[in-house]
Chains A and B, each alone.
Chain A
Amino acid sequence: MSAIAEKYLRQRLLPHIWCPGCGHGILLGAILRAIEKVGIDRDKTVMVSGIGCSSRATGYMDFDTLHTTHGRALAFATGIKIARPDLKVVVVTGDGDAAAIGGNHLIHACRRNVDITTVCFNNNVYGMTSGQHSPLTPFGHMATTAPYGNVDHPFDLCDLVAAAGATFVARGTAYHVTQLVDLIALALENKGFSFVEAYSQCPTYYGRRNKLGSAVDMLEWYKKNSVPVKAAATKDPQELKGKIVTGVLKKAPREEFTEEYQRVIDTAMARLKGGRS
């Protein structure tokens, strides 16, 4: 076991519950390496998750950890961060958790720009409930609730959060793990709402049903079909169809909520002192 895993994982809760070949362990490792790289205070860091395969990750991490209700992780995290701006807050969520039931909380977290780092484990499927289509299942793909092929069109989640006001947006995959560590580290360092979409292979419920092969095959697919953001800029949209554009997609700092609110407190307290309330 690596030094990182020994340092940051709750050993007695291992082995984890994820299926053989699942990419979530790789992503969990990437988060921990990014934390090590950035060097944040572990006792002042809270890990928050919703419900789903991804959301079990918080239990394994030796921090203050909160496993919430389905889709609501960002709303719980918002309360933690606003109540205690001195804490670092990281949200681990899945594609169904973040983009379907949690879609409203996601866009408003972006708009509000509270300093929260969100890593979305995108395995294109509802894994915990055994393979229903999610808002990120590609059009035409098979799922237990799309037995004739998915007729729902997926979100481009990074476009969505960028438009909603996230101040740092990036995308990576479980194959490009070194890059992913760097992306999460940058997200952790951004003061404001940061979002990293991380592709994670689900050979059990998504890959098998769509004949995508083994976990290794799916990782190979990520390798072949990923386009770095700089290279993508030179291609036309038709060429990028079905590709995964990776790297930092947006970085546009603006006023962070808790800092703005501190100004509200300072003003309100000064007025009260001055007897003008």
Chain B
Amino acid sequence: MSEGKVVLLQGNEACAEAAIRAGVRFFAGYPITPSTEIAETLALRLPQVGGKFVQMEDEIASMAAVIGASLAGVKSMTATSGPGFSLKQENLGYAALAEVPCVVVNVQRVGPSTGLPTCPAQGDVMQARWGTHGDHPTVVYCPSSVQEAYHFTIDAVNASETLRTPTILLMDEVIGHMREKMVIPEKVTILERPGPDVEPGEYRPYDVSRSDVPPMAAFGAGYRFHVTGLYHGEDGFPIDRGPKAAQLLARVCQKVERRRAQLASVWSESCDDCEVAVVAYGSPVRVALRAVRMARAQGIKAGLVKLGILWPFPEEAIRDLAGRVKAILVPEMNLGQIVIEVDRASKGQCRVEGLSRVDGELFTPPEVLEAVRRVAP
């Protein structure tokens, strides 16, 4: 572990502390289990650093307030769980098209509907990708430990600011509520959004002549620019249907897609000689690691691949893996969402099987081990 202060923290608390470390100074939210501790921690901590916390009337308003605060030049975040994430989708789409940096934390619980409010699930993977109407870019981080909740929160803020796009930290109840030892690193990298370097009269809020991420001025700095959820030109004002509209959507999606390799966070253990790989994300990673070690002890050539970022999906890593193994097992706390992506990326090179659990409980190591044995050659 890197140098720093060793602490005992809950995943939700680690997320809140990391947000402050990353420079977040505005949080708007609405209480919902199992994400509430993020709001509670920030209600206490943000004013200590001159930041603002506001409990809004609902999730829609929270997302809107976060976008408003970000446009006013302040790094902003909200946190929610399942049903709240559904409500945020309208304004998440706004942030994607208007290119407003912000972070949305979703500590997943069992759905659909009110579901099992205090139990872990991973049912929002596809909602995180395709939640809002229309095509849109998505960057989704998925921690499997409290330490990762800390690091990925900072990464999510940095990516959001530098790419001018909303990013999502997709946790699950186990990670959100689990308390474990972690290190608060002495040094972290904090990145800022690209600012304008032209006179206010010449500023165009969606000028992509130098980069596919346009420079962003803050409201109140004298640039007098317009922001809309309509398709817009480089000057920010509405445009009609036609090639320019298509170019806008292509750019906001491609600015993320073309950084897929750079964003990808894939970690593996025992994969050099493995015949069956377990591909996992979130809390099942912890169970899968144990199951893989048990399998190795029994002479099964098993390995683990952990996905730290779900979207953009690490296509290349999975395709390479699929070319080297006989089978891939994807345990997830849903009826099979990432397994579809793994299968797609594998391009038929190996057998791909899912393992589901949707009863509000985490997998057990013997359960995953049994599945590994089943798919092993």
Interface, chain A (partner B; CB < 8 A): 13, 42-44, 46, 48, 58-59, 62-69, 72, 75-84, 86-87, 104-105, 108, 261, 264-265, 267-269, 271-272, 277
Contact = CB atoms under 8 A, between A and B. Distances in A.
B365 interface: no
29 contacts: A46-B219, A65-B226, A65-B227, A66-B68, A75-B62, A76-B64, A78-B54, A79-B64, A79-B67, A79-B69, A82-B26, A82-B52, A82-B54, A82-B65, A83-B52, A83-B70, A83-B72, A83-B73, A84-B220, A87-B220, A104-B57, A104-B58, A104-B61, A108-B56, A264-B47, A267-B47, A268-B47, A268-B48, A271-B48
Interface residues of B, number: 44
B230 interface: yes
Interface of B: 25-26, 28, 44, 47-48, 50, 52, 54, 56-58, 60-62, 64-74, 76, 90-91, 94, 219-230, 237-238
Nearest to A47: B226
Contacts of A261: 47, 52, 54
Contacts of A43: 220-222, 224
A84 B61 contact: no
Contacts of A13: 237
Nearest to A88: B220
B54 A69 contact: no
Contact of A78 (B50, B56, B58): B56
B220 A75 contact: no
Contacts, number: 140
A-B CB proximity, top 8 nearest:
A79-B68, A79-B65, A75-B64, A83-B69, A268-B47, A75-B61, A67-B228, A108-B57
The secondary structure that dominates the A interface is helix
A261 B90 CA distance: 28
A83 B76 contact: yes
Candidate in A63, A65, A67, A77 with the most chain B CB atoms within 10 angstroms: A67
A128 to B, nearest CB: 12
A271 B65 CA distance: 28
Given A66-B226, A79-B64, A84-B69, 4 more contacts: A81-B68, A84-B74, A265-B50, A272-B48
